[in-house]
Chains A and B, each alone.
Chain A
């Protein structure tokens, strides 16, 4: 397994660029500018690898390629600004209490990388491991939770079924009355889960990748992929042509459109996923609260806002406008859980795009086109997987060998009938 112990690059940063309390002090006293977090670069004529998508997956892949495998001549292409897609639209929940052993191992590695990420990137991503609580409103949910807890504990992940009393102690705001429409019978508690500053993860990876020589190209849209004799030769962009033997598709929303440029079909349907945030109030909700039956999840950010999310919209669409119906239903569900919050005000709603695969699991690895890799189909769980996805994709690209951890997520599984069974834990389990 590729780890941080791989050949550590000497920092290429300029002096004074390191972030620390001392740096803040010095900068405050001298009033000097901080160095740029990443540089503007000219588009080079050739790169060893071109990564499509300047979100957290693409940036993480670039970072680990450079850091763990010594590949520095890499470009990341982003058609808008860094983190403008799903990376900046998700609800920033991190957890590893999945359902299948493969899923649990994979996301557990991601959580561990997230725990180290601030130090690794020298950028505080503010990973707040405040605990993740999934509520059970009926006995079939409790049964599935016991299943998850069992699989989790077999894989060494801290996750356990708790009773209603403990739920009430963790989140006193919950309506625990028996006569609630959806009475709370217990829950699945996952202490290492939590929330993170999603933008900070994007920026941290981008800054660290830039420092290792990776070229980040914002405002650069992929318009074509050159495939000759079944192998990638280069790409076309709105800013010019690049020759490269490796193209990595790290996009979401348009993943199938990009893959189509290489003649690769993906079993992906795109659905909007909506979210909303309230005005800030003083901190009162420490735990991330999820209700699968009510299709809602709630957390409170360090800024004091409550962040709400739900399941993906019921029909496929590329619309990112958000609907009134979503706000009504999410507000209703939140108030069922916490009736005292009716005076809080919803400040903003938005939507992101989720590429759903038939088995609620990503598509990672090689494709029939030599040199064209995919890291797509991330549905509603892409953000929490970014570090491990980047790490394993980098290993695959650098060594040519698919790491065991992602072998089950290969594109060929749909043709071979080897689907992954994460529907239960991934569908709404944020």
Chain B
């Protein structure tokens, strides 16, 4: 297609006529210049219809011709919901319309227009109820009403990124006011970040006259000279507490989008003004455009937007657009001046504008209707910053009031004036912003929290010249009903009827009609929605109020929000060895671990008969130092610690304040004021938080340093009757039973590696030594153990074997054998609870629990038929279906040749010898017997202490 609607070169055009290329629109080739947006290139080829509306599938064309344009959502190279009036077209790009079938030109769903009178707002709430059995079918049909493009199905090959920025002053908006404010702040010494949504700085100056273009050139030069960091095609999407500002940056080389997180000492909001659509019959026909859209098309893209135009104007922008059109060779057949009470009654046409019915009764043929009826101030950034929107009736728009000390506004959202006046105001605000930012820097350096820093009083504030909105007639709803929300296809009539039905506040009407809830987020349609509700209730705009603005200011891709994936998969330094030796991976919390090396039963056997080694690196490990560590341990654990001597370790259990078991582990005393604490692998982070919570809030006077050292050590458990013999070959430590007793700790060299921590404990129920090796040497020690123990029958064992071993021994796993209600006594930890301690976390609840007898208890269980292993989570029932407990752990015991279990059981069934009914998940049930001990193997602990 040729660019039949392209004008000769324009003074402010942004296209590069030297670079011409082809792209495709709905399968057909079109020409574009570099710098064209998708929409401008199509408009230059005479394409007027870009989309179909959501509900009635009415044809839609350019309205605002910028990012906010609700009528040009397209799919570009597979990406859905691309804003065609903002996205630059590129060579070979494949662009298509969305939700149009079989084609954009002929769309069968346009038939919805024929039955439109039956499809009023919320019609779906009123029907499809009977017969009830047909609802699922109705449900599917209603889903077809969803609009938009198709979600991609293939993984995105593009990259997304994030970065941080720490500007003194962040300016959101690069029009003349934003640029002037940025330059002034930079000249006052501030480090400035200037962000603009468009591809070029300049705002409305880009389509100004020669004088305006000259000012723009000077401003751009000043921005560059001032060393300001400029981000174009970027937008401030939100402002959070402490001036934490999110910026979506596009057009970054090599990266599709980047989320910039800026801690700005001061933010200046300068979004300019949005041309408000006029709500009148036919206002959504292709060929009805806002004055700013026409000015963009003519001046930036050299596109002739029509042949015969009618202009409705209420301000100077409308006057200027008429001049632009004349210069572009468009026949301006009628200019209606709203200030002279001239009006458009209705716009006529079927698939495009054909004529306009004027208030004097004349019907004027045309193919272009341009409106300039008033301005909307986009206030989302101001209101999410804590400001309010206040209606100024004389100016017919909302303005921001009540901004916090660290946010200012400049430009059109504040008031009107000549370019000089706007820049003079912005310059003062920019200097004041720099002053406040420097004060804030001093305060923050002194440690004053961001929220408490106020405007400085010591240096005089910069005098800000007065800037207020000029008088403007209020135009919103015309004499006939038109579309208010273009992306949601909601008309003024819909809103009014919603109010009459009883949805008579702006929030209820919004929710009922979905006005302002679509992709354009209320920027274009917000004020008109309020006006329609106000018209129906008889209240004014001020009383009707606005809906709550919410971030983001523009929709942000999930890719940019997520940034690069920083998901942690934690691997022990031995994991590579496990992988290369046939270990089945087990994903536990953030760790990948060896589940087994092929034969867990044989691994169990090796530990029971000879010796095995297991990688237990993920155990949470904390280095505790300071004179008050015993106080901390006494507080957190339910058992006693004060008498723990240097060289000893102890098993401890922590409870939450509700007495529920939180975590367990072994802690050892390495020196007078030096301890090493271990926690469960999955509980490490929570335990760290728990310790720090006490130390930072309740016990700040305690001298305790907690250092997480989980990954600093590779931890290897050497278990089995021959473990002592094996370890003795690799260390000079005296391992003799009397020299290194059960529950003791030694530090020394193992396999030539100094500073290993070795403690003698027994989770597996066997004689065992846990060796914590400086992580970098873990693999060396692991290999040395295997090599040295080959004649002893050594085997590596995995988590599965460890689980079997500990279950045979009756050692509980917190979170598996306990749940969110299991208090210490319920977990069978009676022996550990020391209620005679003055205080510890959970004590009041445990005192109470001890007096009661109504809680589930952890018991050992064995199925009567020892060959059947009831799956974990099988429910224990009474009288058929009443749940009285459940199996928490179960395995076939290779040692006993019999199924063994742990379970939580109601108190009246928990005494030894009771037989209970276990319901199997697949159906059927089995009998199981309650055992006298939790331990099924070696309850006396002979092997452990050997």
A150 contacts B by Cβ under 8 Å: yes
Q: Is B932 an interface residue (CB 8 A)?
A: no
- Contacts A19-B126, A20-B126 given; does A335 touch B871 at CB 8 Å: no
Residue among B150, B562, B565 making CB contact with A181, cutoff 8 Å: B565
Interface residues of B in 219-257 (CB under 8 A from A): 238, 240-241, 244, 246
A419 and B129 contact, CB distance less than 8 A: no
Which one, B136, B246, B883, contacts A324 given CB within 8 A?
Answer: B246
Q: How far apart are A308's CB and chain B's nearest CB, in angstroms?
A: 9
- The contact of A84 among B79, B151, B259, B507, by CB within 8 Å, is B507
Q: A265 interface residue, CB < 8 Å from B?
A: no
Q: Is the CB of B587 within 8 A of A154?
A: no
> Which of A55-63, A342-350, A368-376, A397-405 is the contact stretch?
A342-350
Quick one: which of A38, A183, A303, A339 has the most chain B CB within 10 A? Answer: A303
Q: Could you tell me the distance in whole angstroms from the C-beta of A406 to the nearest C-beta in chain B?
A: 19
Which residue of chain B has its CB nearest to the CB of A335? B562
Q: Is B393 an interface residue (CB 8 A)?
A: no
A-facing mask of B507-539, CB < 8 A → 1, else 0?
110011010011101000000000000000000
Q: Could you say which of B115, B139, B146, B874 has the most chain A C-beta atoms within 10 Å of its C-beta?
A: B146
CB distance from A263 to the nearest CB of B (A): 24
Candidates B512, B820, B873; contact of A421 at CB < 8 Å: B820
Among the 9-residue stretches A162-170, A248-256, A276-284, A379-387, the one with 4 or more Cβ atoms under 8 Å from chain B is: A276-284
When the two chains form the complex, which single residue of A27, A282, A424 contacts B151, counting CB atoms closer than 8 Å?
A282
Bits for B844-885, please: 1 = Cβ < 8 Å to A, else 0: 010011001010000000000000000111110100010100
Given contacts A341-B152, A349-B551, A423-B821, contact A279 B81 (CB under 8 A): yes
In contact, B521 and A348 (Cβ under 8 angstroms): yes
A340 within 8 Å of B (CB atoms)? yes
Smallest beta-carbon distance B96→chain A, Å? 13
B569 at the interface (CB under 8 A from A): yes
Closest to A156 in B: B881
Contact B556 A346 (CB under 8 A): yes
Among B147, B153, B507, point to the contact of A304 (Cβ < 8 A): B147
Measured CB to CB, the closest approach of chain A to B557, in angstroms, equals: 5
Q: Report which of A34, A128, A138, A281 forms a contact with B150, defined as CB distance below 8 A.
A: A281
Contact A126/B502 with A336-B565, A421-B819 known, Cβ cut-off 8 Å: no
Take A19-B127, A340-B156 as given contacts and tell me if A423 and B820 are in contact as well, using a CB distance cutoff of 8 Å. yes
Q: Which of A20, A116, A127, A424 contacts B127 (CB 8 A)?
A: A20
Q: Which residue of A lies closest to B131 (CB)?
A: A119
Residues of B contacting A303 with CB < 8 Å? Answer: 145-147, 514
In the assembled complex, the CB of B924 is this many whole angstroms from the nearest CB of chain A, namely 13
List of B residues within 8 angstroms of A332 by Cβ: 561-563, 565-567
- The interface residues of chain A lying within 8 Å CB-to-CB of B921 are 146, 149-150
Residue of A nearest to B261 (CB): A324
User: In the assembled complex, which residues on chain B have CB atoms less than 8 Å from the CB atom of A84?
Assistant: 507
Interface pair A302/B148, CB less than 8 Å apart: no
Question: Does A289 reach chain B (CB closer than 8 Å)?
Answer: no
Determine which of A82, A127, A140, A150 lies in contact with B875 in the assembled complex, contact meaning CB atoms within 8 Å.
A150
On whether the beta carbons of A129 and B556 are closer than 8 Å, the reply is: no
Complex-state Cα separation, A125 to B556, whole angstroms: 30
In the complex, what residues of A have CB within 8 A of residue B189's CB?
Answer: none
The reply on A378 being an interface residue by CB < 8 A is: no
Q: Which of chain B's residues have a CB closer than 8 A to the CB of A349? A: 550-552
| B831 part of interface (Cβ distance < 8 Å) | no
Is A327 interfacial (CB 8 A cutoff)? yes
Q: Number of A interface residues at 8 Å Cβ cutoff, please give it.
A: 104
| CB closest residue in chain B, given A178 | B585
Q: Is A122 an interface residue (CB 8 A)?
A: yes
Instruction: Give chain B residues whose Cβ lies under 8 Å from the Cβ of A258.
Output: none
Residues on A with beta carbons closer than 8 Å to the beta carbon of B558: 278, 331, 334-335, 341-346
Q: Is B501 in the interface zone, CB < 8 Å from A?
A: yes
Cβ of B432 < 8 Å from any Cβ of A? Answer: no
Give every chain A residue within 8 A of B147 (Cβ-Cβ): 280, 303-304
B658 on interface, CB distance cutoff 8 Å = yes
Interface string of A126-149 (1 = CB under 8 A from B): 111100000001111001111101
Nearest CB of A to B212, in Å: 34
Residue ID in chain A nearest B246 by CB atoms = A324
Q: Contacts of B440 on A, CB cut-off 8 Å?
A: none
Residues on A with beta carbons closer than 8 Å to the beta carbon of B519: 279-280, 347
Cβ of A304: which chain B residues have Cβ within 8 Å of it? 143, 146-148
CB under 8 Å from chain B, chain A span 14-31: 19-21, 23-25, 27-29, 31
Interface string of A23-57 (1 = CB under 8 A from B): 11101110101111111000000000000000000
A226 CB within 8 Å of chain B: no
Instruction: Spot the interface stretch: B116-124, B461-469, B667-675, B783-791.
Output: B116-124
Q: Do A328 and B127 touch across chains, with their CB atoms under 8 A apart?
A: no
Known: A146-B871, A199-B512, A424-B820. A281 touches B151 (CB 8 A): yes
Do A324 and B240 touch across chains, with their CB atoms under 8 A apart? yes
Instruction: Say which residue of B153, B244, B816 sits within 8 Å of A140 (CB atoms).
Output: B816
B567 touches A344 (CB 8 A): no
Is A321 an interface position by the 8 A CB rule? yes
Q: Mark interface residues in A356-370 (1 if CB within 8 Å of B CB, else 0).
A: 001110000000000
B139 CB, nearest partner CB in chain A, Å = 5
Query: Which chain B residue lies CB-closest to A331?
Result: B561
Whole-angstrom distance from the CB of A222 to the nearest CB of chain B? 19
Residues of A contacting B452 in the complex (Cβ-Cβ under 8 angstroms)? none
Minimum distance in angstroms from A290 CB to a CB of chain B: 18
Contacts of A421 in B (CB 8 A): 819-821
Contact A150 B873 (CB under 8 A): yes
A324 touches B146 (CB 8 A): no
Q: B-facing mask of A296-307, CB < 8 A → 1, else 0?
A: 000001111000
Q: A119-B129, A151-B875, A281-B151 are in contact. List 10 more A-B contacts (CB 8 A).
A: A19-B125, A126-B125, A139-B586, A140-B815, A150-B874, A203-B512, A280-B147, A302-B142, A421-B819, A424-B819
Which 3 pairs, one residue from A and one from B, show the smallest C-beta to C-beta distance? A304-B146, A342-B559, A345-B555
A residues lining the B interface (CB < 8 Å): 19-21, 23-25, 27-29, 31, 33-39, 80-84, 88, 101, 115-116, 118-119, 122-129, 137-140, 143-147, 149-151, 154, 173, 181-183, 185, 197, 199-200, 203-204, 218, 278-284, 301-304, 321-324, 327-328, 330-332, 334-336, 339-350, 358-360, 417-419, 421, 423-424
A-B contact pairs, 22 of them (CB 8 A): A21-B128, A24-B120, A33-B500, A37-B502, A37-B503, A84-B507, A126-B142, A145-B873, A182-B587, A199-B512, A281-B146, A282-B149, A282-B150, A302-B143, A303-B147, A331-B562, A335-B565, A340-B154, A343-B156, A347-B552, A419-B658, A419-B821
